[in-house]
Amino acid sequence: MDPRSEVLLRQAELFQGPLLVAGAQADGLLGQLPGAHGWTWHAGDQAVLESRFAGRSHYGVEVPEVAFDAAVLFLPKSRELAAYLLNALASRLTGRTLYLVGEKRGGVESAAKQLQAFGRPRKLDSARHCQLWQVTVDNAPEAKPLESLAERFELPLEDGPLQVISLPGVFSHGRLDKGTALLLEHLDGLPSGHVLDFGCGAGVLGATIKRRYPQSQVTLLDVDAFAVAASRLTLAANGLEGEVISGDGIDAAPTDLDVILSNPPFHTGVHTDYHASENLLKKSREHLRKGGEIRLVANSFLRYQPLIEGALGNCEIRAEAQGFRIYRATHG
């Protein structure tokens, strides 16, 4: 069980009524709190929770429409996302209790200072390298619409500026990361047809491809509901059409793809996790048509070449700069 869930269960008597667990983890916590509903923006966690606690877990970027007398937020990695979530939850809890739980190394003590805007916070527990905080919401804020927190920026591309709209919690929020910037310089010579932007984030790659190759069918996939929402906003801002889907890894992607493009993720929360990226490489063959191509950018220290060669029998390094490599392989 997640250590933050364990800390909550040390104070289980506080959480027996109607409760919303925001950022719910894919563990057994809801089974121990019969009055609780979960809210997650991670498609993989949602699938696990729905299978175990059908009807009691909700996926998306807005506070779910369920009744709750208290809420607990599992502190996310992103400060901007934490601020949005605390505001959204506190706006529903006038006179009631909001809890915050997080790992010490994840910055929970600093994040707890944000609770001062709603009342007088106090620390309830410290265990498992985590802290649990509580505040009675005496000053309920007005809920901020998510889109009002969007970061908009423009990419100067060869075929004209591309508008990018990013949301709190999305990878490289409000800016273009170096890896994607390098990949954007190496999109020439791609097969035409059905293109997948895997781990799409704010939709930079998918939108760029759709505009450059308008006859291509473009699918954008991400595990994170905020990334899915941001990608839809980016496509709309540029007058582009594409399919945007949420799902946990390459298993959620279409088959018969002509191209897989990716700046694949390898961080989850404050812990490092390579599973989604390694699974993408190992299963790429199952999702590509004969003659299809995978092209991705990754940190140079990640040993992706052997995985790609193991799956597809070939792999070339197209470029290397600023600590990143562009890999290319084809389904022969």
Q: Are residues 12 and 104 in the same domain?
A: yes
pLDDT band (50, 70, 90) for residue 233: very high
Q: Tell me the pTM.
A: 0.95
- The pLDDT tens digits for 80-115 are 999 999 999 999 999 999 999 999 999 999 999 999
pLDDT band (50, 70, 90) for residue 175: confident
Number of compact structural domains in the chain: 2
Is residue 117 domain-resident?
yes
pLDDT at 226 over 90: yes
Q: Are residues 11 and 53 in the same domain?
A: yes
Position 211 scores a pLDDT of 96
Q: CA-CA distance, 40 to 102, in Å (whole number)?
A: 15
Which position has the token pair 């927190």?
A: 149
- Residue 218 sits in a domain of what CATH number? 3.40.50.150
Share of the chain above pLDDT 70, in %: 97
Q: Are residues 190 and 99 in the same domain?
A: no
Is residue 282 domain-resident?
yes
pLDDT band (50, 70, 90) for residue 173: confident
pLDDT at 270 over 70: no
pLDDT at 63 over 80: yes
Position 148 scores a pLDDT of 95
pLDDT band (50, 70, 90) for residue 268: very low
Is residue 143 domain-resident?
no
* Strands annotated E in the chain: 19-22, 36-40, 57-59, 70-74, 97-103, 122-127, 130-136, 151-157, 160-166, 194-198, 217-222, 243-246, 257-262, 267-268, 271-272, 288-299, 316-321, 324-330
Q: Are residues 80 and 154 in the same domain?
A: no
Position 269 scores a pLDDT of 47
- The pLDDT tens digits for 12-35 are 999 999 999 999 999 999 999 999
Average pLDDT for 227-254? 97
The whole-chain average pLDDT of the chain stands at 94
Position 53 scores a pLDDT of 97
Is residue 178 domain-resident?
yes
